[in-house]
Structure 1
Amino acid sequence: MKGLPFIRYVVAFMAGIVLYDQLPDFYQLPLIAFLVGSGLLLSGLFHNWGKVVKPVQIKSGVGALLILLALGWGIIWQRTASNCPDNIIHLTDTLRAYEGVVAAQPESRAKTFRVELELRRGKVGRSNQPGRSEIPHWQSLSGRVIVYLNKANQPMPRYGEVWLVTGAPRPIDPPLNPGEFNYKRYLSYRNIYHQQYLRPFQRHILGIEPPSRITQLATFVNRWADSTFIQQIGSRPEFGIVNAMILGVRDDLDTELYRAYSASGAVHILSVSGLHVGILFNVLTFLLGFLAKRPRGKLLMAGLQLAILWFYALVTGFSPPVLRSAGMFTLLILARALGRPQQLMNTLGASTFFILCFDPYALFSAGFQLSCLAVGGIVSWESSLYQSVTFPNKWVDKLWKLTVVALVAQLITFPLGVFYFHQFPTYFLLANPVVMMLSGVLLPLAMAALGLSWVPYVNDWLGLLLQKVAWLLNYVVTQTGELPGATWDGLWLSPVAMLLTYAFIMSAVTLVLTRSKLYVWASCITAALLAGVNLWDEHQQLNQQKLAVHFLPHRTAVSLTDGHKSTLVSDLDSNDTRSFDFYLKNTFGQWGISDLARADVRTATLSNVPAYYRTNEYALWVWKGRTLLLVNKLTTSNWRLPAVVDYLIIRRNALRNWNQLNGRVVARHIIFDDSNKTPLTDKLLAEAKERSIACYSVRQMGAYVTELE
């Protein structure tokens, strides 16, 4: 990586960040790295002091990288809110009320407003611990809380509002099903550990004190742009796509339209990100290119580019992905204006380094990872692939260039995309070049529509043109998404398989570019290892036999899995795809289920289960030599089972006290699903502990999964 120093720096810095994430309590490791690095750096400098011709300073280089590793560890430790002693996560007294300020732009959901509150102080009361004060008092408190405020005819909260909230937030739940999205970890990377659902009467607005005037301005501009687009565009589908692409707001985006973008491989266009900044940068470079030939034209061109790019960042409400990309392109624009040599990979490394200094947890963001990979892949491979085929026709050549960009970006990001989102768009090469071309028209057109919104007639024509371009973009995406087999869904990559996939891609691409025999062997070895990992996973899935009682809020969900087939018995409405996708879809994807049958626990019989008996009070079935009893009621009749059952599943508050089971049923395993009320389940669990009864609650312990041999 000669000539790319920031690539080395940022890799060492990221290593320190990852080290803290994996081993936060082993502070000795960064301390040792800092001491050893300082020793090597000073030793190398002293050894070469006074030499006219200095050799390659390996010691000093390694020492500097070790110091950067320690620096990465130290910065993320300093940026971790839980390390502050007054953070809410350390509170042991009972929190009765707290004061906080709206610290980010609120989001509108179907029934609630999602608000991020920055805590200032809290009113704490009596604690169960001896020695604690019993008189409620106010004390300093820090941290952030996600608050879901019931709309109930309430106006949208404003950035900077100071709230007095009664009640206490609760810690965010960890994932309770295998493979479920880890929302707790996602929010912890934003230093948020608690959430609370509020009724309007639980909060009082004390005033407005914006934490940042710049953010307040960005929020105001974002709202102004939203109202401007409403007046200019009018129709909801087109307004929804413009709002998502320009402002990062998806509230007005239809669910079916979003699925079409996902199926066509163009869903990335709906999230304001580095791609949008890159498109805007390229369009501006093309439109303002004539200035570069004039005296001081480069400086004027750079000034206009920076003004428009940062105006776009302001319009998005200073969205973090846009800020990161705007920072990278700012370095690139300044380098061009000052006539400095441009190394795009080094610029990417420099911008990534400074971004991580400010926000080290950005490293764990899927958007940040995908953006960096896409830009790095395009910078490294796009030129070689583009030049491998030439077309005499100018427009065909431009289409080929867009296709190459889409191909390289998809190639470098698809393993990570499959790892996070478990799907692959089959027709991405068909849709993405057109989507990028139309986006290249829509983005600057939207900026012009905002900038000239005060000019009569011109704003109407720009709004009409913007609406037509958005309609055409939606039409192309919708038609592509409706093609047969548009989405390859249900994919799953383990971390090891993902890393091996990247190793194979890197080896294969390097082989094509260098024709070196070394990379033939590297490609073959990584391909063999990847095949071995996949075959082993396939073998385990083919022979699996699982019984699972899943966590599904306030519902029942039991699955019987044999190989790649599974039967899900639940009371989940078949139209409630959102709950299934969030809580259960990833579980079956992780298990490699290709044939999922669904049955309603209230009405259906299980035709594929050898022995099954159902009444209004209970359902009994035998599967793989195990007996499963699912109890609905214990109060209306005196039914009893003469034999011991293997698994007793309690649902719908059927069990009120443990004496109800006496003389009725004996079970080896007792499981409470989440259709039972939480206070009742907690009471029964406490009594079970006193009586030495072994039982399990999916609400408290997560999904109950057992392997049947």
Structure 2
Amino acid sequence: MLRAHKGEIPFLFWLMPFIAGVVLNLHLAEAGLSTYISFLFLIAGVSFIVLNICYNKFNVQRYSWLGGALMHIILLCSGWLCAQLNNELPNADHFSKLKADYLIVKVITEPTQKGIYTRFTAQVNYAVKPKLNEGASGKLLITLVTDSNSHAVSYGDLLLVPATYKPVDIPFNPAEFNYKKYLAHQNIYHQSFLNRQEVRLMRSNEGNPIIAWSLTLRQRMVDAIKLYITNTEAAAIASTLLLGYKADLSSDILQAYSKTGTIHVLSVSGAHVAILFVVMAWMLKPLRRNRNGRILNAVLSLLLIWAYAILTGLSPAVCRAAVMLSMVIISKASGRPVHYLNVLAVSAFALLLYNPLLITDVGFQLSYLAVFGLIALQPILYEQFEFKNKWADKLWKLCSLSIAAQLITFPLSAYYFHQFPVYFLVSNLLIIVPAEVIVIVGMTFLLSTLVTTLAPLSKLLAYVLEHLILLMNKALVFIEHLPYASISKIWISTTEHLLLYLIIIAAVYFLAYKKAWQLHLTLAFVLVLCCSLSWKAIGQQSTNHTVFFNVRKNSAVLFQTGHRAVVVTDLLPADKNYKYSIQPCLDSLSADSVIICNPQQNLQTSYFKKQLNLIRFLDKSVVLFNPSLQNIVLPQKIQVDYLFFTHNPHSKLAFILKNYAVKHLVVDANNSNQRINNIDYEADSLHLKINILKRNKSFILVSK
């Protein structure tokens, strides 16, 4: 892009206003601007047509900028309108707007099972009322509680389910993953929790036959991997790496790959399709000697790429890569010089026209940014050093590829995943060759399993594949445990995220053109970012937080000052609920020294003291009022700032206030609805400040 003429990459410049329109719609759709946007689109479109018809009459060439400005307005409005039309929630026939006893739904994703829970997304087709079935639309996330005797739900099943659903919850705790927003970007706004006995199977095989066949084929391949590869860890990685089947993958392996910056290897995406493409290009090279051979080469390449996409269950990541490479193949077969950035933009444009909400998908963002980095940034980085030695030059070329991809995706990775792999260059160099060999051997192994007479070859290939994977794992685990292998707890704001990209863009322009003002601009952006990070760090150091978490069936209260914190909770750090609801808050507050204190423990530090159920944190006092205190009468009333009513004690508020002079009452989410209603009514009659956590955000106190 930096050295490409604008005329070589027109689609890249057309893509930007379209994406801007989609993003604006996602953030401003509720402002009621759609009517104005439609009107602006109509005016700009008509003006563009009139100017082209009357080009000579109005001497439009004198205003060459006008056509470009109108085109950008049209594309921006198009992005907005495409995103608006893609949103199913405002539709009059959305199932949430129809009263029904039952819903007829179709399973549109491959069900995933974890323990007794089976989860899948369903498309609602009908709202069932007494003596009437009304057509309906919308997607519903369904979680089934199943057992070993239950019939498994499959893709394409048509089900009759009770119309018992609820909106997806907002994130209740600070820095918690916004699952509601994540699902909304997939047009899912409601979820339903059902027992398997409540669901009736009406028909099967109602889904897309190609997707159904590809999922069946993938399951067959997964079963073959489990049959031939004895090591369960290696089998899980092979299934993930080759087929995108992640159900058997352990969290320890995911952590090792994530901390070493090689998590992309476990995501069947562009890298895997690219390896397949390179192998095919080498095998089909003799066909490219004449025009007919080039066409045959292109057709065979397209067929093989899409066959692999089908083999992996037509996952979105593989389909994206397949679309990108398909356009590269077609452009090469045409015999015309085409800039790869233009091809990249065309494929992104096509996918976003099909589904504008793909722009919110982290995988979509990372994959396109990584490819953009390889095309636009890698040549500039590669030119910075020259090596006369052939092997040193090849090594630097590989390094520049890894640096370019990591550089362009770093701000996004830091923003979403809050970590940076320090040894990414070493780990990627160590893994790139084994990964390529594993993909090639793995594909050959999977093909051999389709022919029963090739069983001996399948066993040999499985043996080689298993040991290659185990060797790669050992290398990555070794790197993971090196000192300072990764920088974690990176929490940057949206503004800081954008500043990082401005720094990268300015720095790359300086490397390309060596202009002094570009260096000055880079340093200015660095200074602004440093000031922002420093201001935030100073604020965190001088601010104290008390957080009463909403962790549903458990309880948790955080007391944080500077980089030190105490969490009083009945959860263990290894518990899923702790990692999901509490750990992100600690990381976002940069709490390095954290003490986990059980509600039954006593604890004393320089800033915190807990004696039985009474807590003193700096100048604040908190009582944990749980069932152990429900019948205790104190000899004299205790003055407390906050009373945390938790674990459903059978005490009326009047009894509590005889023992404690309370300024503020916080009611935990783990109390029963009846108990909460009673306490709320009593607090209201006594004009006592109260915060109820159930179905609400956590209660946060901030002090200097």
TM-score class normalised by the smaller sequence? over 0.9
Structure 2: distance between partners of 1:686 and 1:274: 58
Distance 1:599-1:281 versus aligned 2 partners, 3 A rule: same
Give TM-score, length-normalised by structure 1.
0.92
SS state of the match for residue 644, structure 1? strand
Structure 1: distance between partners of 2:602 and 2:273: 53
Report the CA distance between 1:14 and its aligned residue: 0.7
Distance 1:447-1:69 versus aligned 2 partners, 3 A rule: same
Report the CA distance between 1:155 and its aligned residue: 4.9
Please tell me the residue identity of whatever aligns with 2:558.
Answer: S
The Cα offsets for residues 203-229 of structure 1, whole Å up to 9 and x where unpaired, read as 121221423222212222221221222
Please name the residue that 1:620 is paired with.
Answer: 614
Which stretch shows the higher mean deviation, 511-520 or 448-457?
448-457
Structure 1: distance between partners of 2:447 and 2:472: 22
One of 625, 642, 646 as aligned partner of 1:647:
642
The correspondence of residues 305-454 of structure 1 with structure 2, limited to 5 A, is: 305-391=301-387, 395-453=391-449, 454=451
Maintained 8 Å contact 1:30/1:69: no
Aligned residues: 692
Please tell me the residue identity of whatever aligns with 1:601.
Answer: P
In structure 1, runs of 5+ residues without a counterpart are 125-134
Maintained 8 Å contact 2:643/2:662: yes
Report the CA distance between 1:185 and its aligned residue: 0.4
Question: Is 2:101 the partner of 1:112?
Answer: no
Structure 2: distance between partners of 1:649 and 1:166: 37
Maintained 8 Å contact 1:283/1:440: no
SS state of the match for residue 442, structure 1? helix
Please name the residue that 1:522 is paired with.
Answer: 521
Please name the residue that 2:691 is paired with.
Answer: 696
Report the CA distance between 1:542 and its aligned residue: 1.4
Structure 2: distance between partners of 1:162 and 1:641: 65
Structure 2: distance between partners of 1:312 and 1:610: 59
Question: Is 2:624 the partner of 1:630?
Answer: yes
Please name the residue that 2:93 is paired with.
Answer: 86
One of 207, 229, 251 as aligned partner of 1:255:
251
Distance 1:679-1:347 versus aligned 2 partners, 3 A rule: farther
Question: Is 2:213 the partner of 1:208?
Answer: no
Maintained 8 Å contact 1:640/1:663: no
SS state of the match for residue 296, structure 1? helix
Please name the residue that 1:596 is paired with.
Answer: 594
Maintained 8 Å contact 1:40/1:59: no
Please tell me the residue identity of whatever aligns with 1:379.
Answer: I
Report the CA distance between 1:7 and its aligned residue: 0.8
Please name the residue that 2:77 is paired with.
Answer: 70
Which stretch shows the higher mean deviation, 276-285 or 547-556?
276-285
Question: Is 2:538 the partner of 1:543?
Answer: no
Structure 2: distance between partners of 1:692 and 1:314: 64
Report the CA distance between 1:108 and its aligned residue: 2.2
Maintained 8 Å contact 2:663/2:688: no
Please name the residue that 1:4 is paired with.
Answer: 9
Please name the residue that 1:99 is paired with.
Answer: 104
Q: CA RMSD in A?
A: 2.4
Please name the residue that 1:13 is paired with.
Answer: 18
Please name the residue that 2:181 is paired with.
Answer: 185
Structure 2: distance between partners of 1:228 and 1:186: 34
The correspondence of residues 201-280 of structure 1 with structure 2, limited to 5 A, is: 201-280=197-276
Report the CA distance between 1:323 and its aligned residue: 1.0
Distance 1:391-1:307 versus aligned 2 partners, 3 A rule: farther
Please name the residue that 1:508 is paired with.
Answer: 507
Maintained 8 Å contact 2:139/2:189: yes
Distance 1:62-1:493 versus aligned 2 partners, 3 A rule: same
Report the CA distance between 1:490 and its aligned residue: 0.9
Please tell me the residue identity of whatever aligns with 2:380.
Answer: S
Structure 1 runs of 4+ off > 6 angstroms?
50-53
Maintained 8 Å contact 1:43/1:59: no
SS state of the match for residue 160, structure 2? strand
Distance 1:668-1:225 versus aligned 2 partners, 3 A rule: same
Structure 2: distance between partners of 1:141 and 1:664: 56
Which stretch shows the higher mean deviation, 523-532 or 463-472?
463-472
Please tell me the residue identity of whatever aligns with 1:529.
Answer: V
The Cα offsets for residues 596-637 of structure 1, whole Å up to 9 and x where unpaired, read as 2221112232334465431xxxx1122222221111134332
Please name the residue that 2:3 is paired with.
Answer: none
Distance 1:338-1:162 versus aligned 2 partners, 3 A rule: same
Please tell me the residue identity of whatever aligns with 1:649.
Answer: F
The Cα offsets for residues 144-190 of structure 1, whole Å up to 9 and x where unpaired, read as 22222223113542111122223612211110111111001000111
Question: Is 2:487 the partner of 1:482?
Answer: no
Distance 1:628-1:51 versus aligned 2 partners, 3 A rule: closer
Please tell me the residue identity of whatever aligns with 2:20.
Answer: A
Please name the residue that 2:604 is paired with.
Answer: 606
Please tell me the residue identity of whatever aligns with 1:597.
Answer: I
Structure 1: distance between partners of 2:162 and 2:559: 44
Report the CA distance between 1:661 and its aligned residue: 2.4
Structure 2: distance between partners of 1:525 and 1:28: 41
Structure 2: distance between partners of 1:177 and 1:278: 41
Report the CA distance between 1:581 and its aligned residue: 2.1
Give TM-score, length-normalised by structure 2.
0.93
Please tell me the residue identity of whatever aligns with 1:14.
Answer: I
Distance 1:233-1:340 versus aligned 2 partners, 3 A rule: farther
Maintained 8 Å contact 1:279/1:439: no
Structure 1: distance between partners of 2:168 and 2:370: 32
Structure 2: distance between partners of 1:217 and 1:84: 32
**What percent of counterpart residues are identical?**
26
Question: Is 2:148 the partner of 1:143?
Answer: no
Report the CA distance between 1:196 and its aligned residue: 2.2
Report the CA distance between 1:241 and its aligned residue: 0.9
In structure 2, runs of 5+ residues without a counterpart are 1-5
One of 277, 294, 315 as aligned partner of 1:281:
277
Which stretch shows the higher mean deviation, 508-517 or 142-151?
142-151
Structure 2: distance between partners of 1:653 and 1:227: 48
Please tell me the residue identity of whatever aligns with 1:250.
Answer: K
Structure 2: distance between partners of 1:215 and 1:50: 54
Please name the residue that 1:159 is paired with.
Answer: 155
Structure 1: distance between partners of 2:526 and 2:657: 59
Please name the residue that 2:38 is paired with.
Answer: 31
Which stretch shows the higher mean deviation, 394-403 or 171-180?
394-403
SS state of the match for residue 487, structure 2? strand
Distance 1:481-1:143 versus aligned 2 partners, 3 A rule: same
SS state of the match for residue 102, structure 2? strand
SS state of the match for residue 34, structure 1? helix
Please tell me the residue identity of whatever aligns with 2:156.
Answer: G
SS state of the match for residue 81, structure 1? coil
Maintained 8 Å contact 1:37/1:62: no
The Cα offsets for residues 420-442 of structure 1, whole Å up to 9 and x where unpaired, read as 00111111111112222222222
Report the CA distance between 1:708 and its aligned residue: 2.2
Please tell me the residue identity of whatever aligns with 1:60.
Answer: G
Report the CA distance between 1:687 and its aligned residue: 5.6
Please name the residue that 2:490 is paired with.
Answer: 491
Structure 2: distance between partners of 1:56 and 1:245: 54
Maintained 8 Å contact 2:21/2:79: yes
Structure 1: distance between partners of 2:484 and 2:600: 34
Report the CA distance between 1:51 and its aligned residue: 10
Which stretch shows the higher mean deviation, 632-641 or 406-415?
632-641
Please name the residue that 2:656 is paired with.
Answer: 661
